[in-house]
Amino acid sequence: MNYFEQSDLLKSLPKQFFASLVAKVGHVMAQGHDVINLGQGNPDQPTPAHIVKSLQQASENPNYHKYSPFRGQQFLKEAVVQFYKREYGVELDAEKEVAILFGGKAGLVEIPQCILNPGDTVLVPDPGYPDYWSGVELARVKMEMMPLKAENAFLPDYAAIPENVKEKAKLMFLNYPNNPTGATATDAFFEETVQLAKQHNMCVVHDFAYGAIGFDGKKPISFLQTEGAKDIGIEIYTLSKTYNMAGWRIGFAVGNESVIESINLLQDHLYVSIFSAVQHAAATALLESQQCVEELVERYESRRKVLIDGLNSIGWNVTAPAGSFFAWLKVPKGYTSEQFSDLLLEKAHVVVAPGIGFGQYGEGYVRVGLLTDEDRLKEAVERIKKLTLF
């Protein structure tokens, strides 16, 4: 059989750090151990019943068995417009300011190819979602990292970015509520972001994947609520987290019409849109009762309390996240993030994600998902307690 070598482009893609973590976990499970997996970002609850029912009914519509419109169904774009008006007070044009996506990840990976040329510079948060790096590599552009540090509430310090880097940068990724740190953004920070982007003619892409998940009665803010945000950027939203629709692969980008047109144009060449019944169910999710979202946030908040209170009670001094379904925990002295996560896996059979997998500035932390029930979180705390590390 002939061996056809991979292209240089494929060879240049970042190595999947978490593939090795999955292999380690598989090895421990294969030995028969009961593993509590807090290392993933996969929602553990089913999609709400009314959304599933909407899909079931829509899938019987013979009009939906044909190719759907290349740029998505008009009814879904209209639903997005209503959703943004209701939730954030943001006005959108369904025709020019909404692009339907195959999940948020697709948009995040596509965007550098849409508006950059090889050799251009992108500002990327560190630690951050590793798929930003994939989009950067596919577009043959360069990354400049923006450190997210605890002393700055895990927001980038724009004053610390060298002036020549700001001048070169044509695109910036932001993500609040943040994966992996659980930090949230402030109005003042987004105002500063708009000012910086206008000054340097830079496009801002705000990854709003965890937009629904804020704690202590504080609703996370949309970047597009900031005056002038639409002039210089877009926001990418996914239904995966808000409505537990991770497997459905449906999301959208909203904002600057020139960027939205570029996304639509690239997707015209890549896809023939998304099954219309899925789009129908997505519109149902956005427009009908949001009680399921309120209940989901309450569930995560309750789990957060169990985990954070439990860990503090055993002497692990940790801080509660302000949003998202992740906690970002400092590892004890004497361990790297990978050594510590290996220790928890091997000795306590608890999986956490080492911070180094999210970038250089993730070192010294582990990410823990609130994606299992409270009894399992309590059990995880008990197992860690028995290691007498604290």
Q: Six-digit token pair at 175? A: 């993500």
**If pLDDT is split at 50, 70 and 90, which confidence band does 272 have?**
confident
Mean pLDDT score, 102-130:
97
Mean pLDDT score, 359-381:
97
Q: Which pLDDT score, from 0 to 100, does residue 19 have?
A: 80
In this structure, are residues 65 and 58 in contact, taking their beta carbons and an 8 Å threshold? no
pTM of the model: 0.97
In this structure, are residues 236 and 206 in contact, taking their beta carbons and an 8 Å threshold? yes
Is the pLDDT at 380 greater than 90? The verdict is: yes
Q: Does domain 8-46+292-386 have CATH number 2.60.40.10?
A: no
State the Cα angle at 59 between 54 and 62, rounded to 5°. Answer: 130
Q: Which pLDDT score, from 0 to 100, does residue 378 have?
A: 98
Is the pLDDT at 20 greater than 90? The verdict is: no
pLDDT for 341-366, tens place per residue?
999 999 999 999 999 999 999 999 99
Q: Which pLDDT score, from 0 to 100, does residue 349 have?
A: 96
pLDDT for 245-266, tens place per residue?
999 999 999 999 999 999 999 9
Mean pLDDT score, 99-105:
96
Q: Does domain 49-287 have CATH number 3.40.640.10?
A: yes
How is the chain split into domains, by residue range?
Answer: 8-46+292-386, 49-287
Mean pLDDT score, 306-320:
96
Q: Which pLDDT score, from 0 to 100, does residue 297 have?
A: 98
Q: Which pLDDT score, from 0 to 100, does residue 319 have?
A: 95
Distance in angstroms between the alpha carbons of the first and the last residue of the chain: 56
Mean pLDDT score, 142-161:
97
